[in-house]
Homo-oligomer: A and B are copies of this chain.
Amino acid sequence: MARVVVDVMLKPEILDPQGQAVADALPRLGISEVASVRIGRRVEIEFTGEADLERAREIADKLLANPVIEDFAVSAPQEGPAA
């Protein structure tokens, strides 16, 4: 088994009200050194065999991200001994 991670974030020019809400709530916690917060999705895909970045990209294209409003990045994290 091998994991591929797909990170899906709103494009930078798209407003993220949920991230904004978190940022706006920070001063009440005494936290003032944060400029912005953006909330996206992290999708972990476990492959039965080898990590297949190309396949993961295809899945992201079709079922995980909306290309009009979101960007995504695909990566295969090195976690301990190679899978």
| A residues neighboring B (CB under 8 Å) | 1, 7-9, 14-22, 24-29, 31, 33-49, 52, 55, 58-59, 62-66, 68-69
Contact = CB atoms under 8 A, between A and B. Distances in A.
B9 A44 contact: yes
Copies of this chain held together in the complex: 4
Query: Which applies to chain A's interface (DSSP): helix, strand, loop or mixed?
Result: mixed
| Closest CB pairs A-B (n = 3) | A24-B25, A42-B42, A25-B25
Contacts of A31: 55, 58-59
A37 B44 contact: yes
A43 B24 contact: no
A74 to B, nearest CB: 13
Contacts of A42: 7-9, 39-42
B47 A34 contact: yes
